Structure 1
Amino acid sequence: MKTRKWSFSLEDYKRLMDLLSGMAGVEVEPLPRAVIQAFAARFNGTVAKTSDVPEADLSSIDPTLTSSLMPFQKEGVNFAVSKQGRLLLADDMGLGKTVQAICIAAYYRNEWPLLVVTPSSVRFTWAEAFRRWLPSLSPDSINVAVKAKENMRSGLVNIVSYDLLSRMDKQHAGPPFNVLIMDESHFLKNIKTARCKAALPLLKILAVRPSLFPRFHEFGVRYCDARQHQQKNWGWDYSGSSNLGELKLLLEECLMLRRLKSDVLSQLPSKQRKVVTVTIEGVSGHMKAALSAAAKQLAKTHRSKMEEKEALLVFYNHTAEAKLQAIMEYITDMLECGREKFLVFAHHKLVLDHITTELLKKNVSFIRIDGATPSAERQQLCEKFQFSSKSCVAVLSVTAANMGLTLHSADLVIFAELFWNPGVLIQAEDRVHRIGQTSNVDIHYLVAKGTADDHLWPMIQAKMNVLKEVGLSESNLSEKAENESFHLKDPNQKRITEMFQRSFSEEDDFDEAILMEVANDWKDAPPEAAPAPYCTGTSFSKDPNKKTMKDFFSR
């Protein structure tokens, strides 16, 4: 009597409605038909509980993939098969949605061609994932559409960005896509956007559960608190929310699988590293020519060690400029995905400047710590980031901010640029992965093919493996299930990689190269703004300029 609420078993729903309909003065609003259908199936035994989902037969799928699945990931595949491949996979970021989606798609391989629609920044990451997890799939059968004029239906696996999806209907009709993966499907949350309008023709055929709410208005009234516009005589406002607890139950019963990191923490490593393959297709012809010239310069033989090192650094510098657009695309995608706090590490001042300029344009809050940030301000900036209640990005120099900072209110670290000393990378990761961190940490390395990254990444992996084998590091940059590693097939690429290894293998060579790089970036900075120390035991020649550099860093 205090709450004036009564609870009834759903088994008694029909009897209850019959009794209430015969009572005078009682107004009854029935439950949506979708709710009744979804849960009534439980009582007649036609639907099993999620926990009772049977094991799917995955014997036809590449063992490279199936043997790598964690227990909760295999449960995800089983759930998808029990739903005839139609589901909303809503796991937390870092729980391996990509590998689960590929395994589910592979279960229905005889129904391909497959279409993967994804944010543009991760198109090539998907292609790398298919090559790694499905070695039985010919690399030539994977089609990544980069430009609108390219055929988006030419492969067995077709990977298309949301932005290019609207161009697909202008191309010649091809075989229908019977299997579809919509990555980051919240990109379709606004029905008025061009990307959503382009996706609807596909989704009308392949919707996850088209019979659940065949009419949008019914859904809007029940769950969007739909109301007629007060200032207009027509139209409805669907911007609200209502009955969300019921909607959550309905989604989980019918089509949604969502696991939080806290649910499966015991199955996860404390750090999960992932290589994100980005493209430099959007760069200018001038930039492409500069990269090509730098690569050719590296291929020359009979040079001194200093000349070799200078050529490598030129290639590294051009790589930074070539990656600018891809870096911001990925950061933008992370913000749109709802990641409110994360770290972005870069080396070149050019890259740091570009990121902060673009964040300002987007009105996104950020902090920046680099070699020009006075020591007294660093702690204040860290506290601003730690205690910020809104979206905030920490833009950090990998050499100046890789130690001495605590930023564990974030659980995502993005390396916009690679760095040839893995120890520096690990220290940078640990700005987040440290005492006080209550979640596992996602580490994303952005790697661009056709740049110096092709040679830096294998070298970093090799160095880290050596450190792990001798017990000097728990970290291995190539051991995680989410990681995609580069394969060196081009003999010239292998030679250049060895050149990187040789040129920056000795500590003094490494330090000299970094001194030149960083000093050039911060030559106009005041003495109190010098980058934090990052190396010890450096040997210097008698070159007075080098002595000046050492004094500068000491100061």
Structure 2
Amino acid sequence: MAKRGQSPSSTTRTSPRRVRNDGIMSVLARAVREVEAGAQRGRLTPSARTKFQVVALLAREERLRVKADATSTESHRAEQLKRLDGIGTILAQTAARDTSLLSLLAEDSEVTDAATILKSDMMRAAGREEEVKPTAAPPVSTTIAPASERQVVPKSVVARQLANPFLTPDFAAVERREPQSRRLATWELLGPLFSSFERAAGGSSACMTLPEPADTKVPKGLTLMRHQAELVAAAEDGHRTFLLADEPGLGKTAEALLAAQAANAYPLLVVVPNVVKTNWAREAELWTPGRPATVIHGNGDAIDGFADIVIVNYEVLDRHVGWLGDLGFRGMVLDEAHFIKNKKSQRSQHVLQLSERIRARTPRPLLMALTGTPLINDIDDFRAIWQFLGWIDDKKPLAELMHSLEDTGLTPVDNGFYSAARGRVIEMGIVRRRKVDVASDIPARRIADLPVELDDEVGRSIREAERELARRLVSRYDKALETRSAGVVVDGIDHELVRRVATWEREDSSSKTDENVFSMMRRIGQAKAGLAADYTAQLAHSVGKVVFFAKHVDVMDTAEETFKARGIRYASIRGDQTTAVRQRNIDAFVDDPEVAVAVCSLTAAGVGINLQVASNIVLAELSWTDAEQTQAIDRVHRIGQAEPVTAWRIIASQTIDTKIVELIDSKAGLAARALDGSDEEIASSSDMQLEALVLLLTEALGERIAD
């Protein structure tokens, strides 16, 4: 018999299972201890590295869930967060032992199938299998995946949706133009299309035909340069997809804002790196003052849901991808679009999802990808950007591009296909202008190398570590030669085997006692820090304001201590600062004549900020790509610069530093050949770390043969 106040069936009804928070905590605690124990033994296996990444992902998600749990008591919530802090501490200590683990914590780190499966298993072990969601890259579709625990919907956005019952677009209004099965239907075309930018430049730059500038109205006191007005005129004429690849410093932000105004592409979504959110809001207020802009910080509690321009950074996009896909945007701008070149990263998946959503529900939306460095290491870096613009999907060109290629009457085996295909892709909306062509009033720039001798104990230790790394590579090479099939004879150095050995070395998880190319470059940066700061101080005294760039925090710390000791005022621009603090420091360097040096992180300050008040840059540490180096230099070498710009690269003599410089400079030809029509040869598109190891091993083997 049922108890009083209870329905007869309630005694047999199965109640929904409650989430077992203690279960997930126990699973995470056990897993992180296993990873820690593996690191203490000296070497983490691939499976342990996967477990490290999954623990970090689950701990991050659980922290957000605990903070948002309104049903939990304050004391219970504090207890759970404390336990998560303990897990985070162990992860940090483990990463300190093996710094290669830090790459697994990055926003754009690939989540492998093995990590997806392990995450599911750990959630199931915690009694939360009903909450498991795939983390691997899903196929891009017109339907955004259900909101995860991280995702939020700001109250002001709900208010906007309720205020406009007609917000949901009419899907029938979107033209569906499918490519017909014609001559090219069975051809693999993406490879030839990418290759056409390497093979068929023919001395011509990659810039679509642009109309004569229109009389674009701009706010009083502002002027557009001719190249900027040409792009705005193209938007006014109805063009709607642009890969705006002008060299850094040519005013792409203003072009994008005015193009959106010309196309009436409101509401407009702008996705940017965190460091430039505030700058985009300022530029919007400057160039399109009649269109209110709002910036999403964190969960977006303070945003204006009725704004015409919504600015969000890549780092928090995962929280907002759900409601952003439903808001009815008529345009989307992607700043520093090379950030999505890794299509397997979560940031790329979210960007492509939103683009697909907007294209599916808005007739001819404005889509703009902005990047001065669209090609980092490989011509394939185009792939994600073209997909964002709706020119291709994973396997083939989409309707508009396919029809254009069909109209050439050519196939990839015909003479002239590559040149014609490159031209058709460019007319889809590639816009590339160089400073030397459109802004001749910007003074020249040069890169000057300053070799420094590391002749102390630290320098000797670094050189010995480099020799030890070379010996290890040679030993692996010799063992591989011994075990290869009988009868295989190679005269001299087997360069194919050299590349394989270098690949093995790069992919192996180094023990805490082994030196690798990453840790070696960091040690060299630390050893150069004081010398680079000394030279910066000398420049500041003799020529005025100087921008100091470094990759690592400890190098920045050493530089700032040097400036402080010498009575030189500086502004620090770092990745761990809030947007407001970072902007305040930028303003101090630009506006205060007493602030002589900007100490900048290559990651946090290498894009999207204007520091042209200086004309001298010190690159205390080397980048792994020419593109990153170029971006840093172009914070100074841009519109508004009145003086010739010099970038001083501090190079540690007799170390791997000199080899990295050679590799960086050899990579500089990629964009020149693919986009600017140069006949310069393109170096191998393999990544820089691998090339450094190949060079190190090749030189060591050459020295042995010579002996």
Which gives a bigger RCO, structure 1 or 2 (Cα 8 Å, sep 6+)?
2
Q: TM-score, normalization: structure 1?
A: 0.39
